Amino acid sequence: MSTMNSHILNEAIRATAERSSTHGSIEEQFEHTAALWTAYLGFRISSADVCQCMALLKMSRSKIGSANVVDHYVDQTGYGALAGRVSVSNTSNLAELEKAIMGIKSDQVFRNSENGQ
Protein backbone atom coordinates (compact mmCIF):
# COMPACT_ATOMS: atom_id res chain seq x y z
CA MET A 1 0.00 0.00 0.00
CA SER A 2 1.32 3.44 -0.80
CA THR A 3 2.52 5.76 1.95
CA MET A 4 -0.29 8.24 1.19
CA ASN A 5 -2.94 5.50 1.39
CA SER A 6 -1.56 4.41 4.74
CA HIS A 7 -1.44 7.97 5.99
CA ILE A 8 -5.07 8.66 5.03
CA LEU A 9 -6.33 5.41 6.54
CA ASN A 10 -4.32 5.82 9.74
CA GLU A 11 -5.43 9.45 10.17
CA ALA A 12 -9.07 8.45 9.63
CA ILE A 13 -8.75 5.74 12.28
CA ARG A 14 -7.12 8.18 14.69
CA ALA A 15 -9.69 10.90 14.06
CA THR A 16 -12.73 8.64 14.48
CA ALA A 17 -11.30 7.14 17.67
CA GLU A 18 -10.43 10.50 19.23
CA ARG A 19 -13.60 12.37 18.34
CA SER A 20 -15.81 10.54 20.83
CA SER A 21 -13.96 12.27 23.67
CA THR A 22 -15.02 15.70 22.34
CA HIS A 23 -18.13 14.88 20.28
CA GLY A 24 -19.77 12.23 22.50
CA SER A 25 -20.99 8.80 21.50
CA ILE A 26 -20.74 8.24 17.75
CA GLU A 27 -24.11 6.53 17.58
CA GLU A 28 -25.84 9.18 19.71
CA GLN A 29 -24.26 12.04 17.75
CA PHE A 30 -25.40 10.75 14.38
CA GLU A 31 -28.84 9.74 15.69
CA HIS A 32 -29.31 13.25 17.09
CA THR A 33 -28.15 14.86 13.85
CA ALA A 34 -30.45 12.57 11.85
CA ALA A 35 -33.41 13.61 14.03
CA LEU A 36 -32.60 17.29 13.48
CA TRP A 37 -32.19 16.85 9.72
CA THR A 38 -35.41 14.79 9.59
CA ALA A 39 -37.34 17.58 11.34
CA TYR A 40 -35.80 20.24 9.12
CA LEU A 41 -36.21 18.42 5.79
CA GLY A 42 -39.57 16.80 6.51
CA PHE A 43 -38.52 13.26 5.60
CA ARG A 44 -36.64 10.54 7.43
CA ILE A 45 -32.85 10.69 7.52
CA SER A 46 -30.90 7.82 9.09
CA SER A 47 -27.64 7.96 11.02
CA ALA A 48 -25.93 6.35 8.04
CA ASP A 49 -27.43 9.00 5.75
CA VAL A 50 -25.85 11.69 7.93
CA CYS A 51 -22.43 10.03 7.59
CA GLN A 52 -22.81 9.61 3.83
CA CYS A 53 -23.92 13.22 3.40
CA MET A 54 -20.95 14.43 5.43
CA ALA A 55 -18.67 12.38 3.17
CA LEU A 56 -20.36 14.02 0.16
CA LEU A 57 -19.69 17.44 1.70
CA LYS A 58 -16.00 16.55 1.93
CA MET A 59 -16.06 15.31 -1.67
CA SER A 60 -17.59 18.61 -2.73
CA ARG A 61 -14.87 20.54 -0.91
CA SER A 62 -12.18 18.56 -2.69
CA LYS A 63 -13.90 19.20 -6.04
CA ILE A 64 -14.76 22.89 -5.65
CA GLY A 65 -11.96 23.89 -3.28
CA SER A 66 -8.40 22.69 -3.24
CA ALA A 67 -8.09 19.06 -4.30
CA ASN A 68 -4.69 18.67 -2.67
CA VAL A 69 -5.90 19.05 0.93
CA VAL A 70 -5.36 15.63 2.50
CA ASP A 71 -7.83 16.39 5.29
CA HIS A 72 -10.73 16.19 2.79
CA TYR A 73 -9.80 12.58 1.98
CA VAL A 74 -9.13 11.66 5.62
CA ASP A 75 -12.58 12.92 6.56
CA GLN A 76 -14.25 11.16 3.61
CA THR A 77 -12.63 7.91 4.72
CA GLY A 78 -13.64 8.46 8.34
CA TYR A 79 -17.26 9.25 7.49
CA GLY A 80 -17.41 6.17 5.26
CA ALA A 81 -16.19 4.00 8.12
CA LEU A 82 -18.66 5.61 10.52
CA ALA A 83 -21.51 5.04 8.04
CA GLY A 84 -20.59 1.36 8.03
CA ARG A 85 -20.40 1.29 11.80
CA VAL A 86 -23.79 2.88 12.43
CA SER A 87 -25.41 0.82 9.66
CA VAL A 88 -24.08 -2.46 10.98
CA SER A 89 -24.82 -1.63 14.62
CA ASN A 90 -28.42 -0.84 13.62
CA THR A 91 -28.99 -4.05 11.66
CA SER A 92 -26.96 -6.89 13.13
CA ASN A 93 -24.99 -8.21 16.04
CA LEU A 94 -21.78 -6.18 15.99
CA ALA A 95 -19.91 -8.83 18.01
CA GLU A 96 -20.73 -11.45 15.35
CA LEU A 97 -19.46 -9.16 12.60
CA GLU A 98 -16.25 -8.50 14.51
CA LYS A 99 -15.84 -12.25 14.96
CA ALA A 100 -16.15 -12.78 11.22
CA ILE A 101 -13.75 -9.95 10.41
CA MET A 102 -11.17 -10.86 13.01
CA GLY A 103 -11.55 -14.62 12.70
CA ILE A 104 -12.01 -15.19 16.43
CA LYS A 105 -14.75 -16.63 18.60
CA SER A 106 -17.67 -14.35 19.49
CA ASP A 107 -17.27 -15.06 23.22
CA GLN A 108 -13.69 -13.78 22.99
CA VAL A 109 -14.92 -10.58 21.31
CA PHE A 110 -17.50 -10.20 24.08
CA ARG A 111 -14.87 -10.71 26.81
CA ASN A 112 -12.59 -8.20 25.12
CA SER A 113 -15.39 -5.61 24.93
CA GLU A 114 -16.19 -6.14 28.62
CA ASN A 115 -12.52 -5.55 29.47
CA GLY A 116 -12.39 -2.37 27.38
CA GLN A 117 -10.26 -3.88 24.62
pLDDT > 70: percent of the chain: 74
| Whether the predicted pLDDT of 54 surpasses 90 | yes
| pTM across the whole model | 0.71
Residue 107: count other Cβ atoms within 10 Å of its Cβ: 10
Q: Convert the pLDDT of each residue in 68-100 to its tens digit.
A: 888 889 999 999 989 988 887 665 555 665 666
| Whether the predicted pLDDT of 106 surpasses 50 | no
More confident residue, 16 or 89: 16
State residue 20's pLDDT score.
76
Confidence grade of residue 49 (pLDDT, cut at 50, 70, 90): very high
State residue 94's pLDDT score.
59
Per-residue DSSP letters for 37-98?
HHHHHSS---HHHHHHHHHHHHHHHHHHS-TT-HHHHHHHHHHHHHHHHHHHHHHS-HHHHH
State residue 60's pLDDT score.
92
CB 87 within 8 A of CB 27: no
- Give the separation between CA 44 and CA 108, rounded to whole angstroms: 37
* Mean pLDDT value of segment 7-12: 90
